[in-house]
Amino acid sequence: MRLFGIETEYGITRDDVPEIDPVVESMELVRAYLEASFERRWDYAGEDPHEDARGFRVPGLQQDKEEDEFAKVDAHRPFSFYEMKSDLVLPNGARFYNDHTHPEYSTPECRTLRDLLAQDRVGERIVLCAAQRRNRALGGDHVRLYKNNTDFHGHSYGCHDNYLVSRAVPFPALVAGLVPFLVSRQLIAGAGKVGTEAQESRYVPGQYQLSQRADFMEAELGVDTMHDRPILNTRDEPHADRKKYRRLHLIIGDANMCEYATALKVGTTRLVLDLIERGAMPNIELDQPVAAVKQLSRDPDLKAEVRLKNGRRLSALELQEYYCEAAGRELAGSDEESDWLLREWGETLRLLAQDRSQLVGKLDWVTKQWLLETFMQEERIGWDDPWLASLDLEYHNVDPEQGLYLGLEAEGKVWRMTTDEAIDEAFQNGPSDTRAGLRGLCVQKFSDQIKSMQWERIQFAGGLGTPNLDMGDLFNPREVRRCMDIFQHAHSPADALATWSRRKDMET
């Protein structure tokens, strides 16, 4: 079983000022969540977005130019880069920070879909809590947060899914196996969107489409995430032992409100990665993947066909069926979660072809389309009415008193894998079978003794030398639990590290 996680950038608005400064407002929102003063801890030394998985390092990214422009403005702000980022590591092992113009919540690393969904829902509660505290300081209900991917003004922000992959798998095999799957994955994981737009281009109301991110895909492969966005991101930043692992960092996905869509999005991608590792993926090569992702998104009737390099033409449903059938042949019986995924994936594709109304409350684009069409019939308006873009946005509002999706959830009209009790538990603790649980435990127990943190390392303060907990290769669940047990019962990080080191020495 591989590790996975989701990073979500939330859209932020404020209605009491004529123009919002998203950098400051995102920072203030993250700070609002704090009950103590901000303390710099996140160590960026392990992050290098210029490393490319194709085997080279790019000298610069297009986003660097934008960052340079931001830096000129930031130089006049009364706070440092680290203060602006306001990186927080939470007791559940998650990261909450200002990704310059958006508050971003990164789930802890998870091993099961049940854990991932609970941790993803924790993110919604954290940004809501931060917004409520920020609004109390502002004296009114002015700040709103949206779990979506577009501002309807030509700007998109991401929901990235990440997977730990063996470096033994050649990167070209990942490209060949994943690109047709990702182009058609929007069929089950699209968030739905009214109208069309493109990077820095005006929004055009009207046409309903499956995905919010499809409009912003501009390349098949690439390392940039803010311009020339690729279907398959090539950033080589493993956050683990580089000799053994890759981190597959996908930026094409939409942020989902539906738990079922999130489960299928991550779960089916996990199955396809298993297929690739076994050399059992379907032999499908799209002729023009970038055009195909837009074409399929703009076809909610699911009739469009895209051309393969061998001249055949397939619909999004047929592309997904090829992958689902291959996964069924190769992976059935592997484990309980895989069997659940295979059953639900196949049933979802059948219902999309025969009766999609049964997927309301399960798939976001189907649920949103049903909501909007119901509203259009009542108000006797068409798809080009600007009212619909507002409703589209409010579908993603994380405030249960205002959000349209959360309203459906309160009425019991959506499918759930989580429970409120599971989310409460995920709020307090990270998964006990991944390094995230250990990271969270250290935050809970030794917060005042942590000097710096990365995804794969914790550096503790004090004493001689630099006591580090290296988690770059700590992925075996049994080893994680053994290490957690040591830290749980230790009086200090130094004691825990010494005990952990002795046990490893005895076993080698």
Catalytic site positions:
99
Q: CB atoms < 10 A from the CB of 186, how many?
A: 26
User: Distance (Å, rounded) from C-alpha 1 to C-alpha 343?
Assistant: 18
The distance of Cα 136 from the centroid of its chain, to the nearest Å, equals 29
Strands 230-233 and 219-222: parallel
The type of residue at 424 is: D
User: Distance (Å, rounded) from C-alpha 310 to C-alpha 307?
Assistant: 8
Secondary-structure percent of the chain, ordered helix, strand, coil, rounded to 5: 45, 15, 40
Radius of gyration for the alpha carbons in the chain, expressed in angstroms and rounded: 23
User: Distance (Å, rounded) from C-alpha 233 to C-alpha 247?
Assistant: 10
User: Which residues is 397 bridged to in the sheet?
Assistant: 146
176: alpha, beta or left? (left if phi > 0; alpha if psi -120 to 50): alpha
Q: Find the helix or strand (DSSP H, E) in which 346 lies.
A: helix 336-354
User: Distance (Å, rounded) from C-alpha 231 to C-alpha 124?
Assistant: 26
Q: Collapse the DSSP code of 332 into the 3-class scheme (helix H, G, I; strand E, B; otherwise coil) and give the result.
A: coil
Q: Say if CB 431 and CB 115 are below 8 A apart.
A: yes
User: Distance (Å, rounded) from C-alpha 258 to C-alpha 51?
Assistant: 34
Q: What is the DSSP string of 188-221?
A: HH---EEEE--TTS--EEEEEES-SSGGG--EEE
User: Which residues is 501 bridged to in the sheet?
Assistant: none
Q: Collapse the DSSP code of 166 into the 3-class scheme (helix H, G, I; strand E, B; otherwise coil) and give the result.
A: strand
The distance of Cα 457 from the centroid of its chain, to the nearest Å, equals 22
Count how many Cα atoms sit within 13 Å of the Cα of residue 382 in the half-sphere of its side chain: 4
Q: What is the DSSP string of 88-154?
A: EE-TTS-EEEE-SSSEEEEPPPBSSHHHHHHHHHHHHHHHHHHHHHHHHHHTSS-EEEE-SSB-SSS
Count how many Cα atoms sit within 13 Å of the Cα of residue 112 in the half-sphere of its side chain: 15
Rounded to 5 degrees, what angle do the CA atoms 267, 268, 274 make? 95
Q: Which residue bears the tokens 């009207």?
A: 206
Residues 6+ apart with CB under 8 A from 494: 460, 462, 463, 467
Q: Which two tokens stand for residue 127?
A: 């940004």
DSSP 359: G
